[in-house]
Structure 1
Amino acid sequence: MSTSRWDDLMPRLLSGVTMVIVGLLAIWAGGLWFHGLTVLVSGIMVWELVCMLDSRRSKSSLVLGVIAGSALMLAIEVPVAFALPLLLLPSMVGLGRMERGGVTYAVYTAVILLAGYGLISLRNDFGLTWMAWLVTVVVVTDIAGYFAGRIIGGPKFWPRVSPKKTWSGTVAGWIGAALVGFAFAASTTAGLGLMSISVAVAMASQIGDIAESAIKRRTGVKDSSNLIPGHGGLLDRFDGMLGAALFIVIVGQLVGLPTATP
């Protein structure tokens, strides 16, 4: 087995553990700590997005990142009806500042802020258990896909966009998510339907991952930034969480979430 396949494992592991610890502490603390971390991460992801789409707009990328973070911060503090225009405002402002990639910027920025708002709402309204479930599903999906893809290999999922992703890794992510759903269903009152919801969340997470890969492929960049050793940027790390969080926002509005009390 080629060692080059595992060259990024150690820096990826160390960075991943650090991010998990910081994230878990913020999720556990909730309130201002979780709100602040989500706002910061969302603003940085918008900054990375602008840098990828239009590298000539270095000043605009910082401005739009600050605007996005500020909009999310304000949206948290106002009723939902007033929050929605705030969450879409950075997309509208950025359209006029981008020389290229404006539509992609507008859509993806809206996704970032709606997902961030959804995560905060999930933590505020449903508590620690649901947040722990969502994060665990996304992390296990990613880890299962990483190792299965490298150990098993096989047919590529979408080689033109993401040449490293395989069907074995994709399916392994679904299986890992189902096991997470079973574990949470067994320890709460959510019921076994949580296994199916977990698989759907895993799929949404993978779609989020693929969407960011498509942007990178189109713009010709390897990583969204170099902020995180072994992972690239925050968009590279949280692209799956964006898809999963947005999916949960939609599911919560359409069908509601099952109760998950211990």
Structure 2
Amino acid sequence: MASTEGPALAPKAPSSELKTRVLSAIVMIALALAAAYWGGWPFALFWLAAGIAIMVEWADMTGAEPRRIVQTVFGLGLVALTLLYLSGGSFVIGAVTGLVFLALGALITKGSREKLWAASGFAYAVVIVLVPPMVRDYPEIGILGLIWMFAVVWTTDIAAYFTGRTLGGPKLCPAISPKKTWSGFFGGLIAATLAGCLVVWLGGSFGVTHSFSLGSTIALSMVASVASQIGDLAESALKRHCDVKDSSHLIPGHGGVMDRLDGFWAVSLIIGIILFVTHGAS
């Protein structure tokens, strides 16, 4: 008897998925580097868009309600902070503005736990919106520091993935991310440290002035690599809590913007704290 069922849909080939991921990664890297080269308002708007996307994904995952109103309020807050930064507004004005929008968005969110989740999402997005432009504009760091951040985070991600797949071994944190291994962790750490040192060395070779010694570069690169992997695990924990696979489906082959920037967010947080302490002490 002939089957009356239609043909089953064939799963997407692994090579096709890898191709999609690679092409998406190339586009994202090209956009990030082009925006970094331009600097100024194009770069700030690039990270504003990333921050808004992250905030929207966070609210969608955690179930903030009324969803669109909360997202609109927080989105306007991120726009206001970007405009204040571009116009040279003071830290005090920026801090007050951020707190006002954080409080307003949390106030209109229903549920006490949901209020905390919503406020956390806005604070998370603020780091991505403000720190990269600050690093780009900082006189003693500038584009070299930004490329160093890119290199450390990207190398950590790539090296950890391929080292883990190749060597395998004990799991890093199976309760949160079953595929991550200790071999991947150390592979990413070593490769990222080498990449960070290479960026700083090349910068000096091309006449980009900086005050980074070899020891400080190694230490900062190692800290940033570990932070990047912790940021990745933290986002995996959030997705498990919210019972979702990806933060969204915005980027083909990669999931959402938050999925791609979780490690970079953690490094941005550390660099932002360092800049704040340095600026406050000067």
TM-score by length of 1: 0.88
Taking a change above 3 Å as real, the CA distance of residues 21 and 195 of structure 1, as seen in their structure-2 partners, is: same
Q: Of 105, 110, 115, which residue of structure 2 is paired with 1:94? A: 105
Q: Does 1:10 align with 2:19?
A: yes
* Residues 161, 214 of structure 1: 8 Å contact kept: yes
* Residues 227, 266 of structure 2: 8 Å contact kept: yes
* Rounded Cα–Cα distance in structure 2 between residues aligned with 1:154 and 1:75: 49
AA aligned opposite 1:173: G
* Rounded Cα–Cα distance in structure 2 between residues aligned with 1:252 and 1:204: 17
CA apart distance, 1:52: 0.3
* Rounded Cα–Cα distance in structure 1 between residues aligned with 2:276 and 2:118: 25
SS state of the match for residue 251, structure 1?
Answer: helix
* Rounded Cα–Cα distance in structure 2 between residues aligned with 1:33 and 1:241: 19
Q: Which runs of 4+ in 1 moved over 4 A?
A: 3-7
Count of residues paired in the alignment: 254
Q: Which moved more, 1:136-145 or 1:181-190?
A: 181-190
* Rounded Cα–Cα distance in structure 2 between residues aligned with 1:104 and 1:64: 15
Q: How does 1:1-262 map to 2 (within 5 A)?
A: 8-54=17-63, 57-60=66-69, 62-76=71-85, 77=87, 78-99=89-110, 100-125=113-138, 126-187=141-202, 188=204, 189=210, 190-192=212-214, 193-254=216-277
* Structure 2, unaligned runs of 5 or more: 1-11, 205-209
TM-score by length of 2: 0.82
Higher-Rg structure is 2
Identity %: 33
* Rounded Cα–Cα distance in structure 2 between residues aligned with 1:112 and 1:147: 29
Q: Which moved more, 1:112-121 or 1:243-252?
A: 112-121
RMSD of aligned Cα (Å): 2.2
